[in-house]
Amino acid sequence: MRLRVRGPTSRLRPQSEPLVDRRSRTTCACLLSGGGLLPLAVAVGLSGFALPPGALSATLHGATPGVPGLPAHGAAVQDTVRAPVQAISLAAAQAEAARSARTDREAAIRLARAGDHDGALVILRALRARQPTDAALRGDLAAVLAWAGRDEEAVAEGEHLPFHDLDPVIAEAVARAARNVGRPGLSAALYEGVLLRAPGRTESEVGLALALKEAGRTEEALARVPGLRGPLGGNADARLAAGHIFGQAGRWVDAAAEYRQAVRLRPEWGDARVAEVLALRAAGADLLAMERAAAARAYMPPDLMNDLEAGSVARLVEWAPAATEARGQEAANARIDRALGAGTAARGRLVAVEGDDARFPEVRLRFDRIIALRDRERMVQVLAEAEALEAEGVTLPPYVLRAVADAAAEQGRTSEAVARYRESLAGWPGQPETTLGLFWALVDRNDFAEADRVLDEFLAGQPDRRHGEGLRESLPNPDRLPATVARHLGWALAGDLPRAQRGLEDLHARAPLNLTVRQELATVYGWRGWPGLAGALNERIVALDPDHVVARIGGISSALATGERERALDLATELRFLAPEAENVRRALRRVEVDALWELSARAGGGWSTGGDLGTRDRTLRTRIVSAPMAHRFRLHAGTDRADADYPEGRGALDRVAMGLEYRSRPLRLSVEGNADRDGAEAPGLSAAASFRPGDRWSFRLAGDSRARDYPLRANREGIRGWSAAAGISHRAHEGRSVATDVAWLEMTDGNVRQSAYLSLEQQVARTPRHRLALLGEGYGARNSLEGASYFNPSRTWSATGAVLWDWTLFRYRDRSYAQRASLTGGTVGQKGYGTLGVAHATVEHRWELSDRFELVYGVHAGLPVYDGVRERRSSGHLGLTWRLP
């Protein structure tokens, strides 16, 4: 900043005797001495007395009338005296002119001091015309021109003056004018010359420092600041100059401190107050700048006040979401609400101004309102505010476009979010947060290939390390890690979980204390079917950072998967405090709430067959209703099991009701149930089941039923009953591979004992974001102790089949999805006495997850089963639903 200086700052002191006077007297003395005459009257006259009128003329003609004591002379005397007298007359005239010029100069200086610069310049220019070589006179003229604000003329008049012979005031005036016309180098040289002759002059010290600043010689200017703050510390001009120098050096806090001292020394100085406010704003202290400006509103330009109003609100909005000593979302929301209120109040205080940017403060306040509403999770309002601005023809800047895109993504308007993110990046290429927002919007749209390309291009432009300002060693690039982690999660969501796991484990090995990497690794572990491992990682994260929201969300998912409802509730309670309005937190809390609801499930089916061993027509219906948790681990349940089939001899049916209690915990799940026939509660029975899962991969099962329900309906029609027991072991390596084996014992009242075993192996062979292809191999074997039974009861039977499973996700968005599964099965079935024949089956099933509370499944099946060596044709369909109430 260059201050334009006007007017004298110290008194101009004219020389007591102009140089022309001294020269005149010396000349006269020489002339008189050279003539050999020293008349007393002439001597007296030259000493300051005036000759009487006509005396000099008479003397030149031989007489000295009117001068007592001087006799008349003749012609010889006239000739002798004429030349010296002529010289004396000239000297006297010059002396008189000098005295007149001195008087005029003094008058001009008085006018200039009184502020009448034009009048002073008229006199001085007239004198300058008569005495063009008079350096002192030219100096006076240059100084008055500078005081009059005619800086170009002042510099032209005074640039080449011999300042070493002139009063320092002249040099300071010309130096000041040189600064004003943009010649700081000349100004600095003039001020340095003054300080060499007269050290410590305030104006020269201040002027030199400012001239050096304006010449771009910042370091030299900074070197003079101690003098401005020390010996001249009580001078407001010096402190103001020091502030300007600090400002040019980017040391805005120091600049503001100097301006503050200038204001303290001269409270009425509006320029210093404005400069202090501007320095505080440049330092990022918008709130303090607004406080200072509000206290001196009379000195502030209206447009500056408008800018400060907008800037202070912007700072409140920026700081509101930041972590403070007050934990929890409630405290953050209170800060955001204060920022929103401050913005509304500031809009009411804006002053109408003219100019192209007159509306900018009001528009900026609306921009910051959008940012605050986004932070407050009021996404509907964000979109409404943005649409209103655009309807007014306002172009949204990139940072506002990003907030609008965030809101669109949260509202499920994925295509709009993608477009907004791209528009923001067009104006702010490579912005990390916006790039990540675009990535996740593309993932939500299931455009995984494009999402991966976006991050691939971003990472290609990011160096591994960056050189920080003032640091000798480079530091890791902080923008690479979030993008790298997000890209790994994108691979996982696209179906390549092994690749994501390997990458995140490598990152975790290189940065074991990075909680973000650890948490996302836990997320992938959960997706791979290892909730215990994921939960352990999340527990360690929460132990290190109790406010880690995402780790608590992951912990809820793991706890619910392993039956640890109490832990899920504890995590949810803290989340309600930390971030109750965050969308991902709301979804996590929703899962906890849904887990606490009653659950109704039902499955109905029907089939047609060409044979009669299992009935030509059959129907099934199974219903269950499960209560909300009691004491976290217990649930009541009740249900019905109904099945019937048509045989040549009549219909066989099973119709039982059941009620029981279930216990869920980690690692044990137990269920006890009492059941009986629906009619009259006859044939009561008791069943129990237990599941033990010591880790993420292995699980063990036991089950028993005193009134078996999984035996032929034809036997039940004949009054045959039975009891059963079963045991099983499963190993689930990950989401792509699982092995299971089961053995069962069924003993019926007709003396038949059926022993069976089952083995299955499922292996995923391919997966894309929408498709999954797996192979399923199954083996089954059974033997019966009774031969010749009235129901299908081969003494020995076995089967080996293989299936291709194709899962196709047609739509998925958060808790809603639509998918289908198609399977083709082929294999052989062997039966003692009938040999081995081939079998084939095909199934198509659709699954709708309409919300986190309602799921609908339906499908059809067609097959060629074999019974007693006869290949039959069978078709069937099924319908099922799960509904969490209320």
Per-residue pLDDT of 613-630, as tens digits, reads: 778 899 999 999 999 999
Mean pLDDT score, 317-326: 77
For residue 886, cis peptide bond before it (omega within 30 degrees of 0): yes
pLDDT tens for 21-56 read 333 333 333 323 333 333 333 333 333 333 343 333
Residue 158 lies in a domain: no
Which tens digits make up the pLDDT trace of 497-535?
999 999 999 999 999 999 999 999 999 999 999 999 999
Whole-number pLDDT of residue 84: 58
Per the domain annotation, does 669 fall within a domain? yes
* Block residue for tokens 């949260």: 410
The CATH number of whichever domain residue 287 belongs to comes to: 1.25.40.10
In percent, the amount of the chain with pLDDT more than 90 equals 69
| Same-domain pairing of 784 and 646 | yes
Residue 269 covered by a domain: yes
Please measure the distance between the N-terminal and C-terminal CA atoms of the chain and give it in whole angstroms. Answer: 70
pLDDT attached to residue 709: 86
**To the nearest 5 percent, what fractions of the chain are helix, strand and coil?**
50, 25, 25
Same domain, 720 and 833: yes
Per the structure, the complete domain to which residue 335 belongs is given by 301-377
Residues 737 and 861 in one domain: yes
Is there a single domain that holds both residue 716 and residue 835?
A: yes
208 pLDDT band, cuts 50/70/90, is very high
What is the per-residue pLDDT for 275?
Answer: 96
Nearest to 613 by CA among 791, 799, 875: 791
Q: pLDDT tens digit string along 249-307?
A: 999 999 999 999 999 999 999 999 999 999 999 998 999 999 999 999 999 999 999 99
Contacts with 288 (C-beta within 8 Å, 6 or more apart), sequence order: 280
Same domain, 821 and 694: yes
Tell me: pLDDT of 86 over 80.
no
Check whether residue 645 and residue 751 sit in a common domain: yes
**pTM across the whole model:** 0.75
| Beta partners for residue 86, in sequence order | none
Domain boundary among 377, 404, 428: 377
Residue closest to 771 by CA, chosen among 722, 795, 805: 805
**CATH number of the domain to which 677 belongs:** 2.40.160
Tell me the C-alpha distance between 413 and 403, whole Å.
Answer: 14
Q: Please report the DSSP string for 449-511 in residue order.
A: HHHHHHHHHHHHTS-SEEE-TT-SSEEE-TTHHHHHHHHHHHHHHTT-HHHHHHHHHHHHHH-
**Could you give the angle at which helices 252-265 and 270-282 cross, rounded to 10 degrees?**
160
Cα separation of 336 and 318, whole Å?
9
- Per-residue confidence at 80, pLDDT binned at 50, 70, 90? low
The arithmetic mean of pLDDT across residues 641-646, rounded, is 94
Say whether both 565 and 616 belong to one domain.
no
**Structural domain contains residue 171:** no
For 714-759, the pLDDT digits (tens) are 898 888 999 999 999 999 999 999 999 999 999 999 999 999 999 9
Q: Where are the alpha helices (DSSP H) in 47-116?
A: 55-60, 75-113
Q: Average of pLDDT values for 223-249?
A: 92
* Cα of 533 vs its chain's centroid, Å: 32
Give the type of residue at 346: A
Q: Which of 271, 298, 325 is the last residue of a domain?
A: 298
Could you tell me the sign of the dihedral formed by the alpha carbons of 477, 478, 479, 482, in that order? Answer: positive
Are residues 263 and 313 both part of a single domain?
A: no
CB 738 within 8 A of CB 764: no
Residues 329 and 578: beta-carbon distance below 8 Å: yes
> Sign (positive/negative) of CA torsion 527, 530, 535, 540?
negative
Q: What is the pLDDT of residue 85?
A: 52
When the pLDDT of each residue in the chain is averaged and rounded to a whole number, the result is: 87
Q: Final residue of a domain: which of 351, 377, 403?
A: 377
In 3D space, the residue among 55, 57, 74 whose CA is nearest the CA of residue 65 turns out to be 55
Residues 603 and 591 in one domain: no
- Same structural domain for residues 535 and 671? no
pLDDT digits (tens, 9 = 90+) for 450-490: 999 999 999 999 999 887 766 678 888 999 999 999 999 99
866: in domain = yes
pLDDT at 476: 87
Please list, in sequence order, all residues whose beta carbon lies within 8 angstroms of the beta carbon of residue 665, skipping any fewer than 6 positions away. 563, 564, 633
Cα–Cα dist 251/506, whole Å: 44
pLDDT tens digits for range 834-844? 999 999 999 99
Residue 875 covered by a domain: yes
Q: 113-149 pLDDT, tens per residue?
A: 888 888 889 998 888 888 888 888 898 999 999 999 9
Q: Is 23 part of any domain?
A: no
The total of structural domains in the chain comes to: 4
* Domain membership flag for residue 841: yes
Asked whether residue 279 falls in the same domain as residue 310, the answer is no
pLDDT for the residue 842: 98
pLDDT per residue as tens digits for the range 767-797? 988 899 999 999 999 999 998 888 889 999 9
Question: What are the backbone angles phi and psi of residue 538, rounded to the nearest 5°?
Answer: -65, -35
501 and 634 co-located in one domain: no
